[in-house]
Each structure stands twice: as structure tokens, then as C-alpha cells.
Amino acid sequence: MAPITLLSSFESVTELWETVVQNCPTNSPFMAIQWQQKWWEEIGQRKSVCFICVSAANQTIGIAAVRSTGDEISLVGDDDVCDYNAFLIAAGNETCFFSDLIDYLVGKNWKTLRLPSLTPESPTLKFLPDVARARGLSVEVDKGEVAPGKVLPTNWDTYQAELNKKDRHELRRKLRRLDSAEGMEWYFLEKPSDVEQAMDDFLRLLGLSRESKYRFLTPEREKFFRAMARAMAELGIVRLFFLEIGGQRVASAFCFDHKDKRFLYNSGYDPEYSYYSVGLLLNALSLKSAIESGKSYYDFLRGDERYKYHLGGTDRQLYNMLITKG
């Protein structure tokens, strides 16, 4: 078995994490150490976390950031705010990483390892089941939610042409109506100080947009959104969109720009301006902005809300894995 190193703080693991994440094929905004740490501080309530670092040839090849609740182990992050889950593994080291990780874990006191929201290309899906079963563990893999997305063309006209006829007609009609609104403008913020100051408006619009989002915004999650937004903006990957009518911010979309993709993390709008379809159209305009900035994919992230399909999204199936000791 390759050497296993256990670290117990974000401060102690950050340097190793930053090295491995650069060569991790499942790298996403949710794999940023800053995102993970803010989740742990604000939602994880700073409870015990363990970083299981696996090495080979004197190099760290992967890290499992795990937490335990009773006799269940899971990765840092939860289903409510983390759209994708993944182990941090340097490409080409998957079999070695999982073999040594499971060899280490089988000797520990736990009953279940829960891994939700795995992407279809996840090495966890490809390698972990066989490794775990070979060591006498039970593995269940079920379909989870979907995460629609859109492969982006090189220009806005081509994008519109790719929509079905009805959605293309409706988008153009609604955009013309929005253009007629007095004092309409849209833009995005990216400077950390600007993003931080604008979070009041983003959270207000998120809560206004529908009852379920209002209930979702507990004080704990509001604190997480604010802390995470600042930290991720300092990484330079936040694009916080606003649409204004008559000097009032009436819709907002919180996006991450990560490599060649734009991720729509969350959005909200003021229902009093529903006549102008401000929520749908700001999301469409953030997609247009992604095309103009050269992005190749727009990820609507988890959930099957209708607007994602009106904007051309097609489903990517996510999976949940449960590993149980016999």
C-alpha cells in the first residue's frame, strides 16, 4: 500500500491540494479549496474533517476530504449547495488511489460511504466499484438528478439557430419586449469588493423568486453564500450578473467561470417584473456573454427546471453511490 498521510486542517492541506487539483480531470468550482473551506466553516460548523492523502513515488496522487456523521462517511460538501462531488485525484492514478484509500478505510469503524452527485465521467464511477467489491464491500449505484448543459457555438446567432423553433421565437420575442423597458441594462460584477457589496441584492432576489428558495435561504446558508462569494471572487472566477430596469436591480445570476466553462450556480428575480421575463432573460444573457468570452460549455448545474431546456440545455445524468460494509 502506498503511504497514507492524514491531515486535519485546511491550512495544512492547502499546498498539497493546490498541486493535485491542477491535474485533476474532475476539477470544478466545487473542488476549489476555498469553496470547500467556506462550506466547512459556515455549514459544516467546523466539525471534524480528515484529509486522507495518498502518495506514490514520493508524490501526492490524490486526496479524500471526508467527514463523518455517526457511522456514515461522506465528502466535504452537501447536496443542498454542492452540485458535483468528487475525490481529488491526479489523472492516471485512479486505480492506485482507490485501492490504497479503500485498503485504509476497511480497517476503520464505519458502515456506509455515501457519494452523491457524481458526474458521468467521474473516475469514482469507473474505478471505485470494482475496487470496493474486490475487498468485500457492497456497492450500489443509482441514478440521481440531472444537470442540463449546452455546448456553445462561436456566436449568438448560431446559438439561436440551434434552439427549436418555438424556443427561438419566444426568446427573440421576449428580448424585444425587454429592450422596450425604460432604463434596461445588464452587466456583471467580478471584483471581490463589488461582489461582496452586491450580495444583499443577489440574496434578496433569490429569496423573492419563489417560495422554495426563500425557505432555502436559512441564516446559515446566507452566511455561506456571502463568505463563498468573496473567496471565489478573489480567485477571479465569479461573474455576478444583474439586470436593471429603471435603476432597480430586478434579476441576478451567480455564475462561475472555470476554464472553458461557465456554471450557473443560482439565480433569482423580482416577480413584479415577470412581464419582462427578467429571470429567464438574464440567464440567457449570461449565456450570450459566455459565448462572447469564448466559453465552450454552459453548465446549468443540477436540477430539471424548465427554463434550462428553453435555453437549449440537454441532460447529463448524475449518479449516487453508496458503499456498505458487510
- pLDDT score of 79: 84
- pLDDT score of 46: 75
- pLDDT score of 326: 74
Q: Which CATH architecture has domain 4-144+319-324?
A: 3-Layer(aba) Sandwich (3.40)
Q: How does strand 261-269 pair with strand 297-299?
A: parallel
Residues ≥6 apart with Cβ < 8 Å to 305: none
Residue 9 dihedral angles phi and psi, to the nearest 5°: -145, 155
Read off the pTM. Answer: 0.96
CATH 3.40.630.30 domain residues, the chain:
4-144+319-324, 149-299
Residue in 12, 37, 13, 10 with CA at minimum distance from that of residue 231:
37
- pLDDT score of 2: 61
Residues ≥6 apart with Cβ < 8 Å to 147: 83, 84, 119, 299, 300, 301, 302, 303, 315, 316, 318
- pLDDT score of 1: 54
CATH domain 149-299 topology: Aminopeptidase (3.40.630)
Distance CA 173, CA 139 (A): 50
- pLDDT score of 33: 97
- pLDDT score of 299: 98
Residue segments in the chain with a per-residue pLDDT below the cut of 70: 1-2
Q: Which residues pair with 66 in a beta bridge?
A: 50, 75
The kind and range of the H/E element at 92 are none
